[in-house]
Amino acid sequence: MYDLIPFPAHISSGAGSFLLSTSTTIALSDPTDSELRSLGAFGAEMLAGTLGSAPQIADKPADQATPNTIALLLSSDGKVNHEGYRLDVTRESIAITAPEPVGLFYGLQTLRQLVPLGILPNENDQDSTVWPIPAVKIQDAPRFVYRGMHLDVGRHFFPVEFIKKYIDLLAMYKMNTFHWHLTEDQGWRIEIKKYPRLTQVGAFRKETILEKNFDPYVGDGTPYGGFYTQDEVREIVEYAGARYVTVIPEIELPGHSLAALAAYPEFACTDGPFYVGTKWGVYEDIYCPKEETFAFLEDVLAEVIDLFPSRYIHIGGDEAPKARWETSPLAQEVIRREGLADEHELQSYFIRRIENFLLAHGRRLIGWDEILEGGLAPQATVMSWRGMDGGIAAARQGHDVIMTPTSHMYFDFYQGDPEHEPLAIGGYTSLEKVYAFEPVPEELSRDEAQHILGTQANVWTEYMKTTDHVEYMAYPRALALAEVSWSPKKLRDWNSFTTRLQTHFQRLNNLDVNYRVPPVEGLENDRVTLDDRVSVSMSTLMADAEIRYTTDGSDPTQESLLYRDPFDLRVDEDGVTITARTFTRNNGVSAPAAATFRRTSLRPADDVATNELQRGAHYAYYQGRFSTVEQLTRATPLREGVARNIELPGFERDEFIGLQFTGYIRVPTSGVYSFHLTSDDGSRLAIGGEIVIDHDGFHRATERTGVIALETGYHPFVVGFFHAAGRKALRLTAQREGDDRPASLKTWLFHVP
């Protein structure tokens, strides 16, 4: 009955239903209050598509018990969260009570979800003249004060109408912050009157990298750009404010500033020339810490402050290479003059200068967790994206934190098998993984945990050229985020969420949102068997949807085989590929899911003298720019030794490295084994000369799985890995068929001294 997302803090069912009809009116506790009248108008417009016409707004003050009335009542007993509300639906009337207008707004959003499908123009698919709203009592308030979604418009630019739609969806699901990433190396997107070249030059790049063709670089040859005028910015900010969504602008500094330097090269540490970035990644050219730069940034921020009433201004602070500062006489002079230890402290000095300016203008600074390095600005708020550690450190120092780690909150990461998904930056963040996220780390004390303001998902758009692609990556994962950030932790339940999600798929259909149709589950990995038959079982999160599949590797159509129940599949050494897709009633289609099932035999163990083996694997460590694992075989190692596990050794530098591990894996019991290899960037696992996992190339930290049947004993292996730029990761685990979870390889690794 109550398919609500996010689920309310307290809910109890009542008897019967309120019958919404064309005669229903909206009443206000104070009809003369302009904000209340705006809320009444919002509620009337919300219901107009269902009723065929907007309900009348009564001129007399509301009475909670007036029949056939939706009453919006400002009232508080002093105990209710300022965003909280109470919703009472009886047979006779509906009353939404809240201490502040924002609570009434969220109460209306809950009411919106209680109305049978059909709450916006063209949504209604019923012929009836009344719409039953189930009786219920709801007492609700958010768990976190910060509930956000981010959108990067620097890499790809999106029109004003889409930004409004994006904000509408946030408000519908009770998220209250839109983090607008407006400046990047690849484009400056906001008009600044005092510096017109920021948009005349900085908003346009000569071309865009094709897919991931970094080495060698290949561009598309097509000029690209766009920006928002200040009038458009004001329009969006006002639109969001009417929906109780705060817009937080991000003006990147000191890094990710190449577009600005292309327009005004005098604020760099070198002479240039500079061009708006055409490829993704991190550029070494950043703002130089000269007085002219600070004057420029203060001028820019003054205009930004005038446009955005938000308490916070985001200044980025992430991924700022120090190479230019290290060789700049001016930067080195600032370090000496200010008594700074190094370039990291220089970045902190840079950030503190900007924070002082913001504080003087009544604003607060937010930055990514790199602003912790070299010392945190006194009143800064930290967005912890490189895991949770930055947020934990900041909270322990008494700073407010927004948790937005790549592990759960990066919606530019893949949602399924990259072979069957649109091109993405890498990673893997499933809907279930988002829903499982807990923003408050267990390591924090109760007092420290008070500094966790909430959570946010980030939508970086390097590989999202269209609005449809943005929606595909954001939804339905944003619905999981909404519940994580609003609902009490104890009420979160995956099975309940996926059941309620079915109604919201239809709501998203009706709102013309290009959400990702959940794919078929059960085909995540290839499988090998020692028998000639294997059982195939598939499922989908979509209720009332069909699974269609093929056995020849082709993409299924609506005419393909219909899956009903698990079935046995006869397999041989060549294997059989099952490919399946979800087909919904409204013509939605999921990405394909595929797995190959094949018969195999146990790979014999090597005849190796066990008394010659010692624990651990031999490793070779390389430094250099690699683009494939194969290149390691032609390189000279800088260091060699013995590792106890297949992972990063701990002494490696941050970028442009390689590792190769060799030795023997001791298999304890004959059987089918899955190996799980996570890396950022390329990696490869071979056992006995057979490539089990090929995860080569440039990508963020993602996991690949390979399966092989191994006989008890020792098997030679090679793991190759290279890392280019950004964050690095490497880990290999193993899992015997039937085991609950993957295991470390610490006790499996041996080498010949």
687 vs 726, which has greater pLDDT?
Answer: 687
Inside any domain, residue 604: no
Cα–Cα nearest to 163, from 85, 244, 247:
247
- Say if residue 358's pLDDT is above 70: yes
How is the chain split among helix, strand and coil, in percent rounded to 5? 25, 30, 45
Per-residue confidence (pLDDT) for residue 461, from 0 to 100 = 98
What size, in residues, is the chain? 753
Question: Would you say 590 and 548 are in contact if contact means Cβ atoms under 8 Å apart?
Answer: no
- Say if residue 431's pLDDT is above 80: yes
CATH number of the domain that 184 lies in? 3.20.20.80
Per residue in 270-290, pLDDT (tens digit) is 998 999 999 999 999 999 999
- In sequence order, which residues have a C-beta less than 8 Å from that of residue 391 and are 6 or more positions away? 369, 382, 384, 401, 402, 403, 405, 441, 452
Inside any domain, residue 522: no
**What mean pLDDT is predicted for residues 716-745?**
90
701 vs 94, which has greater pLDDT?
Answer: 94
587 vs 236, which has greater pLDDT?
Answer: 236
**What mean pLDDT is predicted for residues 449-466?**
97
Per-residue confidence (pLDDT) for residue 725, from 0 to 100 = 77
For tokens 């916070």, what's the residue?
Answer: 312
Last residue of a domain, one of 537, 571, 599: 599
- Retrieve residue 698's tokens: 């440039």
Per-residue confidence (pLDDT) for residue 118, from 0 to 100 = 53
**Alpha-carbon span 154 to 141, nearest angstrom:** 34
Q: In the predicted model, what is the mean pLDDT of the chain?
A: 93
**Alpha-carbon span 455 to 618, nearest angstrom:** 42
Per residue in 124-142, pLDDT (tens digit) is 444 457 889 999 999 999 9
Same domain, 189 and 311: yes
Per-residue confidence (pLDDT) for residue 586, from 0 to 100 = 83
Query: Which sign does the torsion angle of CA 634, 638, 641, 646 carry?
Result: negative
Question: Would you say 479 and 504 are in contact if contact means Cβ atoms under 8 Å apart?
Answer: yes
- Say if residue 727's pLDDT is above 90: no
Per residue in 548-557, pLDDT (tens digit) is 999 998 999 9
Question: Would you say 538 and 523 are in contact if contact means Cβ atoms under 8 Å apart?
Answer: yes
Residue 20: φ, ψ to 5°: -75, 130
pLDDT tier for residue 119 given thresholds of 50, 70 and 90: very low
Q: What is the dihedral of CA 527, 529, 531, 536, to 10 degrees?
A: -30
Per-residue confidence (pLDDT) for residue 123, from 0 to 100 = 47
Last residue of a domain, one of 442, 477, 510: 510
Per residue in 529-570, pLDDT (tens digit) is 999 999 999 999 988 899 999 999 899 999 999 999 999 999
Same domain, 438 and 400: yes
Per residue in 193-210, pLDDT (tens digit) is 999 999 999 999 999 999
Same domain, 35 and 169: no
**What mean pLDDT is predicted for residues 98-124?**
82
Same domain, 293 and 343: yes
- In sequence order, which residues have a C-beta less than 8 Å from that of residue 495 and are 6 or more positions away? none
- Say if residue 634's pLDDT is above 60: yes
Inside any domain, residue 368: yes
Per-residue confidence (pLDDT) for residue 121, from 0 to 100 = 41
Same domain, 172 and 320: yes
Per-residue confidence (pLDDT) for residue 274, from 0 to 100 = 97
In terms of residue numbers, what domain contains 556? 527-599
Cα–Cα nearest to 437, from 398, 458, 409:
409
CATH number of the domain that 737 lies in? 2.60.120.1560
Per-residue confidence (pLDDT) for residue 78, from 0 to 100 = 67
Per-residue confidence (pLDDT) for residue 122, from 0 to 100 = 40
- Say if residue 668's pLDDT is above 60: yes
b (16+ CB within 10 A) / e for 246-273: bbbbbbbbbbbbbbbbbbbeebbbeeee
**What mean pLDDT is predicted for residues 515-528?**
92
Inside any domain, residue 605: no
Per-residue confidence (pLDDT) for residue 51, from 0 to 100 = 81
pLDDT tier for residue 120 given thresholds of 50, 70 and 90: very low
**What mean pLDDT is predicted for residues 601-629?**
93
Same domain, 306 and 440: yes
**What mean pLDDT is predicted for residues 721-743?**
88
Number of domains in the chain: 4
Same domain, 589 and 655: no
- Say if residue 731's pLDDT is above 90: yes
